[in-house]
Structure 1
Amino acid sequence: MRMIRINCSVSLVTFLWMMILVRGDTDVSCYVEESCILPCSFQKDPEVVIHWTKLTEGLPRVHSFSKNQDQLEDQDQNFGNRTSLFKDQISRGNASLLLTGVTSEDWGQYQCYTRTTSGIERSIINLKVKDTDVTCYAIGNCMLPCSFQEGHLVSIQWTKLTEGRPRVHSFSKNQDQLGDQDQNFRGRTSLSKDQIFRGDASLQLSWMKAEDRGQYECYTRTTSGVKTSIINLETDDNSVAFGFIIFGIVVAVIIGIGICILPCLCIAACIYVYKD
């Protein structure tokens, strides 16, 4: 009897596992203020329930569909009037979401949940939001642009959108706050203090490296409100290599000149002393 119960339990777990299909993550990149499609497909069925949620605290509902119509009563207000499904494609197994007026706050993970008579499917979409693309070159300085509405009590935080969200540069109380700055950026970042109170929070990054490429977030807070901007920084690999070669040549030339001049100075000094 115990063996029969165990076999039934295993069969039930196997059945449920087969009924719920979890697809691999999909990466999507979109630009601020533009429209963006978050892809999602399922095994087509005339009766389908679709739930789009954002995988953040509270799991805000992005869009829902059931009984052949949208169900937006519990839609999160941040997505109001900004989402839609391709109604003529749902019967063909397309549950993709159209997100309009993309903002930097839309960045993050989304789940597409579909339920039909065939089972349940879940897809995870990683949405990366780009505000501005910047390409910089080796060794020189690079400016990451960021602007905000002027106001009092300015607070600025630059972070890199990688694991751990390393702090690149911070400013508050009318001065830099670099106590928690990531060591990879120490001595390489600066803000234009005379421009901050004109609404310019652009960051100057010196001595560019290939490792600097990636997405950066500029967060500003004033009495006028909060704003977040995403900057996508690219580096030219060829220029990086070329830059280091030029740098090496310059250093070698300086050392060479120093080696040539030093003996001459020593000889000149000896002659001067000898004449005296």
Structure 2
Amino acid sequence: YQVSAGELLVHSYYHSKDQLGLQNQNFKNRTSLILDQLSRGNASLLLKEVKIQDEGRYKCYTSTSTGYKESFINLKTEGRTEIFLLSAAPVSDIRIHQDGNRITCSSEGIYPQPELTWSTEPPSNTTLNETTRIQKTEDQLYNISSSLTGPDGPDLIYNCTVRTRSNQKTETFIKPGRSSVRKFHLLPAADPEVSCVFRHSCLLPCQFQSGSGLVIRWSNPSSAGDSVVHSYYDGQDQLGQQNQKFQGRTSLILDQISRGNASLLLKEVKIQDEGRYKCNISSSTGYKESFINLKIDAPVSDIRIHQDGNRITCSSEGIYPQPELTWSTEPPSNTALQNRTTVHQTEEKLYDISSSLTGPDGPDLTYSCSIR
């Protein structure tokens, strides 16, 4: 944290502890972070014994492996003795549980004040009557909780979304209808790993016990929320909520659905498609949730070697995951091979690799370049 005028240092934290050696004298012993909130993305500053002179514009600068962020806060003292300078405390976790016919969704430790919304798949004709409560903690963070009574009828998928201006997350809950509860049957869940080739089509398997009132929902859980990959209900695809990055690239095997096969065909796979996928199934026979880890592979397809004077260069492009390159000679050389290797990642997240070495003087040698 710094005061903008003159960039006075208010508070610093790195190497997992406060670093106050360069702190401006005006703020000594008056600042602290909420240490147990740092892991949740909350870098809010507590300023104690506030003075009129503290008024002004403050800058919060954060830098991590995911990037850096700069934000500004205007402080008005208004006679207060303690003030929190709050940066964003994003939505980090959403919990959903059921008690009888009542479903509750909640999240804690958020800033600024969040909003919570419910939706269902397929859309319900009955208005969702929910009760939402927001509590402000001593740390000036917000806890939010919302409960609703699920309408009677066919199986529904309930989506609870909590959002602030900085991020949002969605959690999904499947509540079986009355007939489903009596006939409830849960198939064993598998969590396989599927490996697919870059730019090829890929099949993500999902099997279920067939029944009426079928709802299929494929999603891609991530730090940004539970994004919809593909939805199917009322006997047809329902792609209105589909994440844009999957548009035109997903399909179910329609003639296999009646046989309990909800496998998803993902076309033109990209490196960014890697990750964990969730298959939610709801029907008159019960509901099922399974996960699949998708790995993308762009194998080494071509290696080029050329010589320029006494320098030999080996290279290959469009590889994933990050490759390694090694040199060897036949017969083995007694001189260490001094090589320089560079690896570059493209916009498509593929890797290009190149290595050059100067061939030692002496008898003829056969140079081998291996990329793996």
Give TM-score scaled by structure 2 length: 0.35
Structure with greater helix share of residues: 1
Which protein has greater RCO, CA pairs closer than 8 Å, 6+ apart?
Answer: 1
